[in-house]
Amino acid sequence: MKPLLPAALLLLLCGALAPGCPVSADDDDTTATDDDDGVDPLSWAVDAPGPYNAGWRGWDVSYTPLGQSDTRTIGFNVWYPTEAEEGDEVRYMDVFLDTQAKGNAPAAPPVHADGYPVMVYSHGFQGWSGTSSDLCRYFASHGWVVVAPDHTGNTLIDHSDPLETAHYLQKPQDIRVVLDVLEDLPATDPLAGLTDTSSVVLSGHSFGSYSTWAVLGATYDEASIDSACSGGGGLPTGECTAEQRAAFLSGELDDPRVVGSIPMAGTIRRSFFGAEGHRSVRGPVFFMSGTGDPVGQQGQWDSMDQIDFTWIEVEGGCHQTFATGVCATLDGVEGFAIVDTYALAFARALLLDDASVSGTLDGTTPVSDKVTFARQQP
């Protein structure tokens, strides 16, 4: 798992636009439609921003994770569609300015029949919730709500070195908690009761890919966990308490609300899930990687039998192609266009039964000549 670029370097590379830099010119023009009556959001092209701007709000939430007695506090971040042209300043981790998101802007009414469809995002190693803010804004522009935790203990500003065993239990549980918060918003909240959390899609970058496998239902392998807990690899400290071992093997780290996943720039951790654990996932997996970012993608592909698994490899793509966009070998705007289009197509087909994107998802409608497409089904 590769650490993200240091904050100072990102700011030098991207200026005030980090972490969503570079920003396509279209982002400034994502104004809402004048009249949503009779609008069919599935008619909006997946390869272009939708008609909304992206609002953003954030606050802290606390809970007690499985396998520990201490309370854990994480940041809660939500992007949503808005018709507003202005909003409060948005800074992720109080560092990275997002000039495209509209802080605390009023939410546009849902245009999907069952309310706002939902995507959850899990950030990477030593990252923050807004590392893939371009993707989050893109979904919001199409009428979606995106929620993402700041994974306390493994963010840019509070990373623990070495990373504690508890964090490998907390990271998937953070996903459950932000969905619970979204479901339980007070009646006075403008999003209360308007999000469809019955079935959601989960995306994750780098270390966030671990979340996508765990929460979608991959089974932790007992022998692999015992090896990791005794210093055999997979855990930086090589130590587990009896309670932590039990929590890994409890089957309670997944969340049935998550019905499909989009891991990006990170492969399954066999040191946790063993050779067979991936076969128990509840839904399809859409994996993205880049030729300039060797994360074991070929080996993962070779072992992905018996599940619905799609893999796109982006020529010239590097680790940050799937997050901040900072990449010396692929233009960031071009990378964002690939990632955003495939992610939205996958999510619309999965949650909204959108047949119009079938060509994108079976490879017959190419998105870019820089994409190599592969799919296998059980």
Q: How many helices (DSSP H) and strands (DSSP E) are in the chain? A: 10, 12
Token pair for residue 204?
Answer: 């994750």
Q: Which amino acid is at 244?
A: Q
Residue 1 has pLDDT above 50, yes or no: no
SS (H, E, C) 177-229: HHHHHHHCCCCCCCCCCCEEEEEEEEEEECCHHHHHHHHHCCCCCHHHHHHHH
| pLDDT for 67 | 78
> What pLDDT is attached to residue 333?
97
Residue carrying the six token digits 């279209």:
26
CB atoms within 10 A of CB 263: 28
Residue 22 pLDDT greater than 90, yes or no = no
Q: Are strands 72-82 and 258-264 parallel, antiparallel or unpaired?
A: unpaired
12, pLDDT greater than 70:
no
**Partners of residue 58 on adjacent β-strands:** 77
How far apart CA 336 and CA 53 sit, in angstroms, is: 17
DSSP-derived 3-state class of residue 54: strand
pLDDT category at 27 given cuts 50, 70, 90 is: very low
Tell me the pLDDT band of 305, cut-offs 50, 70 and 90: confident
Residue type, 262: I
Q: What is the DSSP string of 276-298?
A: TGGGG-SS-EEEEEETT--SSHH
What 3-state class would DSSP assign to 315?
coil
Question: What is the pLDDT at residue 302?
Answer: 96
Q: How far apart are CA 273 and CA 222, in angstroms?
A: 8
Q: ∠ CA(274), CA(278), CA(281), 5° rounding?
A: 145
Any idea which of 34-43, 52-61, 181-190, 278-287 has the lowest mean pLDDT?
A: 34-43
Arithmetic mean of pLDDT, 92-107: 95
Provide the mean pLDDT of the chain. 90
Strands (E), the chain: 53-63, 72-82, 91-92, 96-97, 102-103, 116-122, 145-150, 195-205, 258-264, 285-290, 309-314, 371-376
* pLDDT at position 4 over 70: no
pLDDT tens per residue, range 152-175 = 999 999 998 899 999 999 999 999
Max Cα-Cα span within the chain: 61
Residue 222: per-residue pLDDT: 97
User: What's the first-to-final CA gap in the chain, in angstroms?
Assistant: 29
pLDDT of residue 6 exceeding 60: no
Residue 37: the pLDDT is 61
Q: Which domains does the chain have, with CATH numbers?
A: 8-32+47-376 (3.40.50.1820)
**Which residue bears the tokens 């392998």?**
221
Q: What is the mean pLDDT of residues 322-343?
A: 97
Q: What percent of the chain has pLDDT over 70?
A: 90
pLDDT tens digit sequence for 196-221:
999 999 999 999 999 999 999 999 99
Q: In the predicted model, what is the mean pLDDT of residues 42-61? A: 97
7 has pLDDT over 60? no
Q: Is the pLDDT of residue 288 over 80?
A: yes
pLDDT in tens, 110-167: 999 999 999 999 999 999 999 999 999 999 999 999 999 999 999 999 998 899 999 9
